[in-house]
Amino acid sequence: MAVELRRVTKIYGNGAVKIVALDDVTLSVEAGEVIVLMGPSGSGKTTMLNIIATLDRPTSGEVYIMGTDVGKLPEGRLERFRLRNIGYLFQSFNLVPYLTAEQNVALPLMALGVKKELALLRARALLEYVGLEKAATLYPHQMSGGMQQRVAIARALATNPPILILDEPTSNIDLENAAVVLGLIAVTNKLMKTTVFVATHDPDVARIATRVIYMRGGRVYEAIEPPRRELKIDIDRALSAYEKLKRIDELLGL
Ligand X SMILES: Nc1ncnc2c1ncn2[C@@H]1O[C@H](COP(=O)(O)OP(=O)(O)OP(=O)(O)O)[C@@H](O)[C@H]1O
Among the listed residues 9, 4, 159, 160, the one whose alpha carbon sits nearest the alpha carbon of residue 67: 4
Grouping H, G, I as helix, E, B as strand and the rest as coil, residue 22 is: strand
Give the contact letters, 137-176, x = binds to ligand X (CB under 6 A), - = no. ----------------------------------------
DSSP 218: T
Give the contact letters, 172-201, x = binds to ligand X (CB under 6 A), - = no. ---------------------------x--
Work out how close the CB of 121 gets to ligand X at its nearest, in angstroms, rounded to a whole number: 36
Work out how close the CB of 40 gets to ligand X at its nearest, in angstroms, rounded to a whole number: 7
19 near ligand X (CB under 6 A): yes
Q: Residue 46 or residue 160: which is nearer to ligand X going by CB?
A: 46
12 near ligand X (CB under 6 A): yes
For residue 42, give every residue at least 6 positions away whose Cβ sits within 8 Å of its Cβ, in sequence order, or none: none
Among 32, 42, 71, 227, binds ligand X (CB under 6 A): 42
Work out how close the CB of 27 gets to ligand X at its nearest, in angstroms, rounded to a whole number: 15
Q: Residue 10 or residue 150: which is nearer to ligand X going by CB?
A: 10
Is 6 within 8 Å of 42 (Cβ atoms)?
no
Q: Residue 41 or residue 97: which is nearer to ligand X going by CB?
A: 41
For residue 120, give every residue at least 6 positions away whose Cβ sits within 8 Å of its Cβ, in sequence order, or none: 102, 103, 106
- Helix, strand, coil share (%) of the chain residues, nearest 5: 40, 25, 35
Grouping H, G, I as helix, E, B as strand and the rest as coil, residue 155 is: helix
Grouping H, G, I as helix, E, B as strand and the rest as coil, residue 89 is: strand
Q: Which residues contact ligand X by CB under 6 A?
A: 12-13, 19, 21, 39, 41-47, 199
